[in-house]
Amino acid sequence: MASSKTISVTLKIWRQKNANAQGKMETYSLKDVSTDSSFLEMLDLLNEQLIEEGKEPVAFDHDCREGICGMCSLFINGEAHGPDRGVTTCQLHMRMFKDGETIYIEPWRSAAFPVIKDLIVDRSSFDRIQQAGGYISVNTSGRTVDANNIPVNKMNADEAFDAATCIGCGACVATCKNGSAMLFVGAKVSQFALLPQGQVEAARRAQKMVAQMDLEGFGNCTNTGACEIECPKGISLDNIARMNREYLSAKIVSQE
């Protein structure tokens, strides 16, 4: 079996001690990086090198390393999750980079995602948006009909599942020139709006979630479409249109 190729890279990484400190780009050199390694494995290698040198390792977020949780979110060479498509940072491999290349690594840039340390940002604003209305209510008193007995149109079910694949990584926000979270909010609205189980809160869900989105300081959508391109799960812009319809319908009903 042929051995994997190795490359050398120069890393320009954003370093910031805490939320109140002024950050800056630091330069590091790394040699003999296997092109079969993931981007996070490359950062692990860098941190081992820094620790051996008695220096502070680079703080970055990660958990599953399987493209499921979205915690590994990094802005790499000006692109959310890097130069590949349909993958999170942990699924990005070093074969996407050339020997001798300089790689710029930054955290998500958004007022609603304040930097905690180095490459880690606080994305709890997404949690608060979901808590504002991204749920369903089910009356379990008395005789409850099994959810599987409620007929759902196949097309609606498929679209709801597609919307539910959003992992809330924030790539849409980091990519958008306005720092808009409408693709994320649209996906969370759609996954319930398309199903009968989501109709209990339908009249107020979009209003509450949009209001919380604005309160968190996210920007407005101007339909550039960059969010859909950079989304690792391919969430469609159709979800933004659906959220707008849900929002306007709720506004009209509330004024009647």
Task: Provide, rounded to the nearest whole percent, the portion of the chain with pLDDT above 90.
Answer: 84
What length does the chain have? 256
State yes or no: pLDDT of 2 exceeds 60.
no
**Is 103 within 8 Å of 26 (Cβ atoms)?**
no
- Hey, where are the domains in the chain? 6-116, 123-139+146-253
* Beta strands 6-15; 102-106: pairing state: parallel
Q: Tell me the C-alpha to C-alpha distance, in Å, between residue 34 and each of 53, 77, 98, 121, 201.
A: 21, 19, 11, 28, 50
The domain 6-116 having CATH identifier 3.30.56.10: the answer here is no
The model's pTM:
0.92
Q: pLDDT by residue (tens digit) across 39-56?
A: 999 999 999 999 999 999
Q: Could you read off the pLDDT of 194-210 as tens digits, one per residue?
A: 998 898 888 899 999 99
* Domain 123-139+146-253, CATH: 1.10.1060.10
